[in-house]
Amino acid sequence: MRCGKMAAPPPPPPAGAAGAWGGVRRRCQRLLYWVPVLFISSILCWSYYAYVTQLCLLTMTNVGEKVVCLVAYHIFFMLFVWSYWKTIFTLPMNPSKEFHLSYSDKESLEREPRGESQQEVLRRAAKDLPIYTRTMSGAIRYCDRCHLVKPDRCHHCSVCDKCILKMDHHCPWVNNCVGFSNYKFFLLFLAYSLLYCLFIAATDLQYFIKFWTNGLPDTQAKFHIMFLFFAAAMFSVSLSSLFGYHCWLVSKNKSTLEVFRAPIFRHRTDKNGFSLGFSKNLRQVFGDEKKYWLLPVFSSLGDGCSFPTCLVNQDPEQASTPGGLNSTSKNENHLFPAKPLRDSQSHLLTDTPSWSETSAKAEKGKVGMSNPALTMENET
């Protein structure tokens, strides 16, 4: 029996074609990410038409009521759109260049096997950086995709494919990461959208009741009034719970990611490690000048790379009890970070009474342990 020749495998697709297909796929994904934003924008445009034209101009008969409702509505509408726009188009902040590994350090990490050599590279890169948190194994938080030592509260976003400073979450409704640069805008967006919906529901309620009691003429406005009330009431319920949750996060100086995974400091896991008390927690997000608090302009304190903590200093030469608690520490009432902070954040540490209040709420006498052995661990 004669053996036939084996068929040759098909030639691989040209590299240029594969790259072009990948580019098309990425562009399609980026377009799909805008669908939730377009949905919210279309609802907003319809609500403007339904409220201004159908309800105020065509249905309301009292001139004074028309004027008051139109003026108040446009104030809420402007603040809502302004804060929403800023949340969407404010670029997330990434770690500064000092957190990126040098070319020689990156070569060392790639060349050396996991072990003491890599520990030394990360130890040398992080020794002068204001970082206090570690991974679960006690290692320096390092991102192998961005090739940088992660600042505190920084996380790598899989959607944006970059490290985001003080990342809270990636929000599909704004097609953006919510982090240090736009967290205030996101809070104001929730607040003004909630006020917007509550105002529409409150002023539309009497006409909604007239709709069911046949008190309105049989026109197109009836259906706009009915759906306007339903939409405003439905969004009010969901927004109130979300806004309340983020208000609680601000009061505790936490992010959504930190609620699910408490930050791990060099001494231990501490879910309230960044909390400085309600007043200072609020000022970290909204700033010192109250005149800017209600406006979607950036006024948050700091640079997003360093944050004050409620750590207690510990003399490394002092003996400590098991678990890292030093019952005779002379500095147990002096709370300050173990690394220098940026100037824009350090003034939060000067108010001693507020720190003492924070200390009383925390476990008194809790101190930091000496640095554990650093092992390289990738964390996303």
- How many Å apart are CA 12 and CA 154, to the nearest integer? 41
Q: Which of 69, 171, 197, 310 is catalytic?
A: 171
Helix extents (H) in the chain: 15-33, 35-48, 63-89, 103-111, 116-126, 183-212, 221-252, 256-260, 278-286, 343-346, 352-361
Cα 253 vs. chain centroid, distance in angstroms? 12
- SS3 assignment for 111-158: HCCCCHHHHHHHHHHHCCCCCCEECCCCCCEEECCCCEECCCCCEEEC
Backbone phi, then psi, for 135, in 5-degree steps? -80, 180
Known active-site residue 171: yes
Greatest alpha-carbon pair distance for the chain in Å reads 101
DSSP 53: I
Return the closest-CA partner of residue 349 out of 271, 277, 254: 277
Answer whether 24's CB lies under 8 Å from 31's CB.
no
Burial of 207 from C-beta contacts in 10 A (0-12 / 13-18 / 19+) = buried
User: Which residues are identified as catalytic?
Assistant: 171
